[in-house]
Structure 1
Amino acid sequence: MSITAALMLALAVVPAPEVTEYVALGDSYAAGVGSGGNAETGCGRSDFAHPNLWKDSHSPARFAFPACSGATTQHVADRQLGSLSGETELVTLTVGGMDADFTKVMTTCTLGSDGACEKSVERAVQLIRSELPGRFERLFQGIEAAAPKAKVVVLGYPRLFESRSCSGGLSAAKRAAVNDGADALAEVTAAAVAATGGALTFVDVREAFAGHGICGEDPWVHPLTTPLGHSYHPNRDGQLWYLRALESVAKTALRR
C-alpha cells in the first residue's frame, strides 16, 4: 500500500470534529504551492493543500482560504484577517519564512558559493531572532481579536535537506546552513506560540519530515524544479503529512 493510500485510510477512521467555520491563513506552504492541482495561480492555492484536504474531509459550513504565496506576517495581518469572524472555530497558519526572505536565501544558496549561502542564512537568522518575535506577537493578537472563539493551529516548516548528497542537491555546507535556518525559525515560532499561554498551538513538522527532505529516499519536498516556484516546497505527499499533523492536533484542540 502506498504512503498516500495508507494515510487516507488512517484519516478515514478519525472521528471528524464538528466545525462550522474554518479559515486557513498564511504563505505558500499553507496555500499548497508545489502540490499540483492549483485552482488559483496568483496565490498558488492548490486543491491538494492541507487546508483544502481538511475542508474536503470535514465539510465545515463555511471555509475561507486567503493564504497566499509570498505572504509575510504583515501581509496576513493586512490582507487575510478580514476572513475571520466571531464565529470562526478553527484557524490554521503557516507564516514567517518570507519575513526571513526565504526566496532570496534559497536563490543565493542555489546559485552562490558556500560562503555566500552561509552569510545569507546568518542574516536571515539574525532577523528571525530579533524581529520575528514582535511580528508574531502582533499577528497573534490580531487573530485572537478577530476570531476570539477560534482554536488557532500554527504549523511550522520542515528542514529541507537530508545530510547525504544527491543529484540536484546542494553542497553539504549549504544544506547544513539552510537546515540551521529552519531550526531557528521553528524555535522562534514555538517560543512565540508558547508566549500566548496556550491560546495557540504550534505543530513542529521537522521530526515528521526527517528522512523525507531533499536527497531522502522518499522526499516530500521538491528540489530545484520546474516550475521554479515549486522549488523547495512540499509535494503532494508532504501536504498529506501536513494534513495528518493538523488532524491530530485539531482533534484534541476542538474538543477542549
Structure 2
Amino acid sequence: MLHTLQTIALILVSSNFVFAVPQIVPRAVTRFAAFGDSFAAGIGAGQPFTGSGPDSANNAGCGRFDGSFNVKLRDDAKVHAASFDFLACSGATAQDVQNSQLPHLDQSADFITVSMGGNNVGFGDIVNGCVYRFNGIFAPDCDQALNNASTRINNNPDFLDPVTNGLRAITAKAPNAKVYVMGYAKFWNATTTQCDNVSWNYWQTPGATKMTRALRQKMNDLLDAVNNKISTAVQGLNNPRVTFVNYDAYFQNHRFCEGGVNEPQGPNEDRPNMFFFQLNTPVGSVNSFVQPFSPASQYLDWIKAAKTASPNTPVNPIYAGLSTATSASGGLPLWIAKIFHPTSPGHVAISSAISGKIP
C-alpha cells in the first residue's frame, strides 16, 4: 500500500500535475433596492444620478446623487449588484417609504438598504431654528423645535410605529432579502470650546444663537435617541435577515466644531475631512452646482418666488416631512438643501460601515 502511494506521488510530480485552486467569487447580489430619505438619496454628494430603474423618472426630483452610499455599495466587492433599484427620495418620511417607494420593490430583491425616520422627527426645524435661522424672527423657536423632536421620538405613533411598519412591509414583500437598516450620525463634536461663542445664524443680528456645548449636546442626544428607536424597531422584528447599522463611530473626528477648526466654514475653504455639508461646502464635483455663500438678496428673491408660487404655504428653507410627490428640496436651491447631509467622504464612510456588516 505504501509503495502504491509513493508511485502515485512520483507520477504526479513527474507529470507536473497542477491542482486547480477554486477561485473566490465575490458575493453576488441579484437585485439591490435602496429605500429611504435624503441621506440615502445622497443629495449633493457627487453628481446627479442618471441611472435607470423602476423610479428613474424621479431621479432629479428626489435629489439622488451618484455619491450616495447606496451607489458606492452597489459596486462594493461584497455586493456586485447585477440590478440596482434606487428608490430613496429626499424629504421622505417613514410613511412615504412605505406608501410611495415600496410599490416599486421587486419581490426578487435579495439585498436592501433602508434609511428612514429623520423626517418624522423634524430635524429640519432644528437646523433652521437652532443653527441657521434662515427666517430670522419667523424661524422656529430653538427650544420648541428641540422639545417637539424629543416628543415625536418618544411618541410611538409618530416615530417607532411608522418605522416598524415600513420595515415589516419591506421584509414581507421581499422575504428572501438581507435588509440593512441605517441609523444616523451625530453632527457635532460637543466637547470643544471654540464654537461656544460663534453663531451660525444666516442673519448676523444682535442676540444671534451661539453654538454652545450645551446646545450641541442636546442635538447629539436627539440623534442617539433616534438611533436607539430605530435599533428597537429592528430588534422587534426578530428577523435574522434584518440588520441595524449604526455608522456614527465612522464620523468620529469628522463632525462640526472639531478641535482647531474655525466655524462656520468660510467661502472657498477646503475641508476634505468634513463629513457633513455646510452652506459653503462645495457640492461634489458638479461644477454648475458649486455655489458659495449666497448673498441675502438672492435669498430674499427665493423667498418672494416661493411665496408667489404658494401664497398660503409657510416658507421653511429646510425641507422636512415632505411627500415624495414634492420636489426633493421643496423648491430650495441645492446650496440650502444639502446642508447637514453627508458629503461624498461621509457616504464612503457609511458604505464602509454597511460593508463591514455583510458576511
- TM beyond 0.5: yes
Match of 1:127 among 152, 162, 165: 152
Name 1:82's counterpart in structure 2.
103
Name 1:69's counterpart in structure 2.
90
Kept after mapping to 2: 8 A contact 1:23/1:83: no
- Structure 1 residue 15: Cα displacement: 6.9
Listed one character per residue, the Cα deviations across residues 13-53 of structure 1 (whole Å, up to 9, x for unaligned) are x9732110100000000011131312243211111111111
Name 1:212's counterpart in structure 2.
254
Identity %: 30
Residue type of the partner of 2:71?
N
Name 2:276's counterpart in structure 1.
221
Separation in 1, partners of 2:96, 2:148: 21
Kept after mapping to 2: 8 A contact 1:117/1:177: no
Higher mean alpha-carbon deviation, 178-187 vs 223-232, is at 223-232
- Structure 1 residue 116: Cα displacement: 3.2
Question: Superposition pairs for residues 89-108 of structure 1, below 5 Å?
Answer: 89-108=110-129
For 1:35, what is the secondary structure of its paired residue? coil
Residue type of the partner of 2:225?
A
- Structure 1 residue 198: Cα displacement: 3.4
Separation in 1, partners of 2:42, 2:25: 24
Match of 1:183 among 217, 224, 231: 224
Residue type of the partner of 1:223?
Q
Aligned length: 237
Name 2:327's counterpart in structure 1.
none
Unaligned runs of 5+ in 2: 1-23, 50-58, 201-209, 262-272, 281-290, 292-334
Name 2:31's counterpart in structure 1.
21
Kept after mapping to 2: 8 A contact 1:160/1:232: yes
Closer, same or farther: CA 145–159 of 1 in aligned 2, 3 Å: same
Q: Looking at secondary structure, tell me which structure has more helix per residue.
A: 1
**Pair 1:248 & 2:336 matched:** no
For 2:70, what is the secondary structure of its paired residue? helix
Separation in 1, partners of 2:178, 2:42: 21
Closer, same or farther: CA 62–126 of 1 in aligned 2, 3 Å: same
Name 1:7's counterpart in structure 2.
none
Higher mean alpha-carbon deviation, 186-195 vs 78-87, is at 78-87
Separation in 1, partners of 2:199, 2:176: 46
Kept after mapping to 2: 8 A contact 1:117/1:174: no
Separation in 2, partners of 1:161, 1:41: 30
Q: CA RMSD for the aligned pairs? A: 2.2
Question: Superposition pairs for residues 24-173 of structure 1, below 5 Å?
Answer: 24-39=34-49, 40-57=59-76, 58-110=79-131, 111=133, 116-130=141-155, 131-163=158-190, 164=192, 165-166=194-195, 171-172=211-212, 173=214
Separation in 2, partners of 1:67, 1:247: 19
Listed one character per residue, the Cα deviations across residues 37-88 of structure 1 (whole Å, up to 9, x for unaligned) are 1224321111111111122334422210010100001110011112322211
Unaligned runs of 5+ in 1: 1-13
Kept after mapping to 2: 8 A contact 1:24/1:64: yes
Kept after mapping to 1: 8 A contact 2:27/2:80: no
Scaled by the length of structure 1, what TM-score is found?
0.85
Kept after mapping to 2: 8 A contact 1:72/1:97: yes
Closer, same or farther: CA 41–121 of 1 in aligned 2, 3 Å: same
Listed one character per residue, the Cα deviations across residues 163-215 of structure 1 (whole Å, up to 9, x for unaligned) are 22447755113322211111110111111111111341111112221221112
Scaled by the length of structure 2, what TM-score is found?
0.62
